[in-house]
Amino acid sequence: MLDPKFVREHESEVRQTLSNCGSTVDLSLYLDLERRRRDLTTSVEKRKSRKNKASEEISKLKREGQDVSAWLPKLQELSEEIKGMENEIAAVESDFRKLELTLCNLPHPSVPIGRDESANQIIRHWGTPPTLSFQPKTHTELGDRLSILSLERASKMSGSRFAVLTGLGAQLERALMNFMIDTHLANNYIEVTVPHLVTAESMEASGQFPKFIDQAFAIEKDQLFLIPTAEVPLTNLHRNEVLSKNLLPRKYVAYSPCYRREAGSYGQETKGLIRLHQFDKVELYQLVEPEKSFEALESLTQDAERILQALELPYRVTLLCTGDKSFASSKTYDLEVWLPSQNSYREISSCSNCTDFQARRANIRYRQEAASKPNYVHTLNGSGLAIGRTWLAILENFQQKDGSIVIPRALRPYCHGLEILKAPTL
């Protein structure tokens, strides 16, 4: 969430910025509730001070043997005023909290202004899309021919938008997970195994709730939610903690399944492994000092790029505009991998600097020195990478005319030396 003081002191700027992001939140109501909360709090504190002084005076008079009965009605009146105002503060605070949780993070000045992806900026390309002498097959066609992917069997078990990988297909997925994690561990990340079920408070702290509550899978009986990304538990790893400066930067990597309803997706978005209800991902997460967070974003993005480069997959980096960046992000780069069957680039990772937005919601702070006032950390996250989309990108980019798949050199040690994935012999 945003710093109320900053919003109050930069109202015009914040209004314009929220408009650039497509936000429809009533900022006037936000400011009015925030002012009422401050005014009520000040009034209560003044009355509490008067009550404390009156109580001290009454105690003094009692010790002197004087009659204090005339003071008691005034003391009772102050107590009732305080109680009534505290109830009013609680109501205002509740309304303010609900509203402030709907305010998105403010974009960094370097983020292009625009309503949708048409305003995104392509920053750079890496690699050259393969030149194929034949009509490229889709990953679903290749997976079916190789007997390593079945959407029909998954549908029989769970309905649409699920997948079953078998044999070498399952091994390739596991190889990718291990390769990605090992690569990030070599770059000083700390591996974390996280819960796949979290509370509503954890979803709220990471910025998922209330905005994306309709996209979550809920276990209503236990009031728990399946995580849409490991970013959620990683945000809550240090919730309500004050960290020492010497622990920063803190770099975490976590593998997890991810669960999303993906309501509203259609067309190419729902074909094959592109957008499933359940998919696997390796997540990168960092907690850093505020003045270093945008430098850290460049570094984190390069950490994700390193995986694509090692796998020799062509990709491009895109800077998302104000209307396309994520709710919690101040600045986001998307990595988009080339898919021959679509003759286009598709997202495979989003790398974001959330500044202090998540840290304020989760109350994660740090101290410069032992006796100094704690400040909020900045948090960053990125996919390093989405495993399913990496899996399908390998199939499509390394497909051969006979339908076999050349395994990228960097991945072969994780595939027991396998160089070519071929269809089974009948």
Task: Determine which one of 15, 36, 174, 275 is catalytic.
Answer: 275
Encode pLDDT of 222-245 as tens digits. 999 999 999 999 999 999 999 999
How confident is the model at residue 55, as a pLDDT? 86
Task: Determine which one of 37, 161, 250, 260 is catalytic.
Answer: 260
Torsional sign, CA 29, 379, 115, 387: negative
| Token pair recorded at residue 399 | 């497909």
Residue 357 pLDDT > 80: yes
Could you confirm whether 220 is annotated as catalytic? no
Encode pLDDT of 73-107 as tens digits. 888 888 999 999 999 999 999 999 999 999 999 99
Residue 210 pLDDT > 90: yes
- Element of type H or E holding 102: none
Closest alpha carbon to 44 in 92, 1, 10: 92
Encode pLDDT of 237-291 as tens digits. 999 999 999 999 999 999 999 999 986 665 556 678 999 999 999 999 999 999 9
Could you confirm whether 115 is annotated as catalytic? no
- pLDDT average, residue stretch 348-363: 98
How confident is the model at residue 267, as a pLDDT? 56
Cα–Cα distance, 181 to 177 (Å, whole number): 6
Pairing of strands 149-150, 405-406: unpaired
Task: Determine which one of 347, 367, 404, 412 is catalytic.
Answer: 347
| CATH class (in words) of the domain with range 4-100 | mainly alpha
Whole-number CA gyration radius for the chain: 27
Could you confirm whether 347 is annotated as catalytic? yes
Of the pLDDT bands very low, low, confident and very high (cuts 50, 70, 90), residue 111 is very high
Could you confirm whether 350 is annotated as catalytic? yes
Q: The tokens 């997925």 sit on which residue?
A: 173
How confident is the model at residue 73, as a pLDDT? 85
Q: The tokens 């995580």 sit on which residue?
A: 227
Of the pLDDT bands very low, low, confident and very high (cuts 50, 70, 90), residue 72 is confident
Query: Which phi and psi (to 5°) does residue 381 adopt?
Result: -150, 155
What CATH number is given for 117-421 in this structure?
Answer: 3.30.930.10
Task: Determine which one of 330, 350, 352, 383 is catalytic.
Answer: 350
How confident is the model at residue 263, as a pLDDT? 66
Please list, residue by residue across 46-55, b when 16 or more beta carbons sit within 10 angstroms of its beta carbon and e when fewer do.
Answer: ebeeebeebe
Cα–Cα distance, 37 to 30 (Å, whole number): 11
Q: Where are the domains of the chain?
A: 4-100, 117-421
How confident is the model at residue 97, as a pLDDT? 96
Largest CA distance in the chain: 106
Q: Using a pLDDT cut of 70, give the percent of the chain over it.
A: 98
How confident is the model at residue 251, as a pLDDT? 98
How confident is the model at residue 426, as a pLDDT? 54
Give the chain's mean pLDDT: 95
Pairing of strands 365-367, 242-244: parallel
Encode pLDDT of 156-208 as tens digits. 999 999 999 999 999 999 999 999 999 999 999 999 999 999 999 999 999 99
Could you confirm whether 145 is annotated as catalytic? no
- pLDDT average, residue stretch 216-222: 96
| Token pair recorded at residue 113 | 């202004």
> Half-sphere exposure of 226 toward its Cβ, with a 13 Å CA cutoff?
15
How confident is the model at residue 284, as a pLDDT? 98
